[in-house]
Amino acid sequence: MKENSVRVIVIGGGTGGMCLAHGLRRAGVDVRVFERHRTRTDGLHGYRVGIDPDGSRALKACLPPDVYDLFVRTCARPPETFAFLDERLRRTLTVPLRTPTDDVNDEKSVSRMTLRQVLYTGMTDVVRFGSDFTHYKQTETEVTAYFADGSEVTGDLLVGADGTNSRVRAQKLPHARVEDSGIVAIGGKVPLTGETRALLPEGVFPGIGLVLAPRGMACILHVMEFPWGTGGGSPLPGDPTGDHINWGVSAHRDRFPADVTGFDGPRLVAQTLAMTPRWSPALRRLFTLTDPTTCFPISVRTSVPVPAWPTDRVTLLGDAIHTMTPGQGVGANTALRDAHNLVRALTSGSRSPQVYERQMLGYGFAAVAASKARTGGDQLVHRPVIGRLALAGQRAFLRTTDRVPALKRRFEASLYTSRGGDRE
Ligand SMILES: Cc1cc2nc3c(=O)[nH]c(=O)nc-3n(C[C@H](O)[C@H](O)[C@H](O)COP(=O)(O)OP(=O)(O)OC[C@H]3O[C@@H](n4cnc5c(N)ncnc54)[C@H](O)[C@@H]3O)c2cc1C
């Protein structure tokens, strides 16, 4: 790398890649982002992302103050509670979430599409859309990225921020493995109206609801209320986001038809209803009222830890290196943490990603393991007989925690520390 400056090529203009680009540009580093989508609103970005203190800290450090302010202003109302329920919507535990002390140490709810538009703000000269990366070549002194349209670009460091199916990772670490977690999920959005609001039980509307049901099934519920209300009022160009309820039903892959990932919206709604015949009628009504165009299936994946590699002119961040299940809700937050740490490494005296890589492999794969333990096909709840006992044990634990204030406080504290609260 050159002594005083480093020209950085970022492959992938997603959550981590754009945070990195902002941070580097603010530090005066020559950075360019190459994104395969043709426009800033292409792709399916409909779901809710929870930004924890790790994520907010990284965004605050990397984004210009006015863009960070835009991010905070375009978040949904923050969740105030975390409610655990059974499939009849009976509450087993409600944990109050901490009242924010500042604009970092809190839990934010953001629409992925809105966050994407925030991250593209003021970056038209940095991002080149329609750039489908194919491969790279590196020498002792530089690295060149090649694209499907025949173009190429040369720099000092190439960062693969190209997500779970990363081509950068495939070339750099052909031994790295992304695996099926055994879990499939169906997600959807229901517009927030008087009717849909009334379908939610008390305790879910102010925050997050998690239904834990027999057969290893689960359903996450998020109420997303934006300062501008219904769709069309977002201050960000091309962002159609408006008030809604976001739901996601998950279960072991064996409980779904083998071809479910090819289903269209109406079939996904029908599939969700077919799998939940004994669930609360209110919840089933919510599924029925879902806008089918917002429904999507996900075959949830995870990754296998890789040993450290000799530092060269190509590095990786986010899902490109440590894809994880949504069990802990930290995939995006870890990508943002990576971006922040990589900015620090590249703007330090060494201008090298070496320290970043060592740290990132540690906390990144720890998050992969914790996420898989929470949401993974080999959890006890997915086993035929023992699964029922495991669910009964889980519910007993949650009910006891609900009744014993000291246990509740400990539970709440664990939620906070696992999401980066009070980290430096
Ligand atoms: C339903 C759901 C809910 C989630 N909820 C949460 C949550 O609450 N909290 C949380 O922390 N995480 C959450 N996640 C995970 C989170 O969305 C990801 O971990 C995060 O987006 C990873 O960021 P990234 O920058 O690594 O990759 P991405 O954001 O996926 O960005 C990768 C980018 O690379 C581009 N790209 C890919 N290939 C190429 C190529 N060949 N050439 C050029 N560009 C390319 C893609 O188009 C994309 O823009 C959730 C995920 C899902 C599916």
pLDDT digit string, tens, across residues 330-340:
999 999 999 99
C-beta of residue 250 within 8 angstroms of C-beta of residue 185: yes
With tokens 């709440």, the residue in question is 412
Question: What is the token pair recorded at 2?
Answer: 């050159």
C-beta of residue 219 within 8 angstroms of C-beta of residue 247: yes
Give the DSSP H/E element, type plus range, for residue 218. strand 217-224
Spacing, Cα 118 to ligand 1 middle (Å): 15
Q: Which atom of ligand 1 is nearest to the CA of 319?
A: 26
Residues 6+ apart with CB under 8 A from 232: 240, 242
C-beta of residue 54 within 8 angstroms of C-beta of residue 336: yes
Q: Which atom of ligand 1 is nearest to the CA of 317?
A: 26
Spacing, Cα 15 to ligand 1 middle (Å): 6
Per-residue model confidence as pLDDT tens digits over 68-99 = 999 999 999 999 999 999 999 999 999 988 88
**Going by CA atoms, what residue is nearest to atom 17 of ligand 1?**
332
Q: CA angle at residue 43 from 68 to 165, to 5 degrees?
A: 95
Per-residue model confidence as pLDDT tens digits over 158-205 = 999 999 999 999 999 999 999 999 999 999 999 999 999 999 988 899
Q: Is the CB of 13 under 6 A from ligand 1?
A: yes
| Residue 375 pLDDT grade (very low, low, confident, very high; cuts 50, 70, 90) | confident
Per-residue model confidence as pLDDT tens digits over 120-140 = 999 999 999 999 999 999 999
Q: Which atom of ligand 1 is nearest to the CA of 55?
A: 11
Q: Which atom of ligand 1 is nearest to the CA of 116?
A: 29
Question: What is the token pair recorded at 69?
Answer: 């302010």
Q: Is the CB of 207 under 6 A from ligand 1?
A: no
Give the long-range contacts of residues 136-139, CB within 8 A, separation 24 or more: 136/168, 136/171, 136/314, 138/312, 138/313, 138/314
CA dist., res. 43 & res. 290, Å (int): 20
DSSP string, 36-65: SSSSTT-S---SEEEE-HHHHHHHHHHS-H
pLDDT at site 2: 46
Start-to-end C-alpha separation, the chain: 29
Question: What is the token pair recorded at 367?
Answer: 């998050």
The answer to whether residue 389 scores a pLDDT higher than 80 is yes
Q: Is the CB of 37 under 6 A from ligand 1?
A: yes
Q: Give this prediction's pTM.
A: 0.95
Using only the alpha carbons of the chain, give its radius of gyration. Answer: 22
pLDDT at site 99: 80
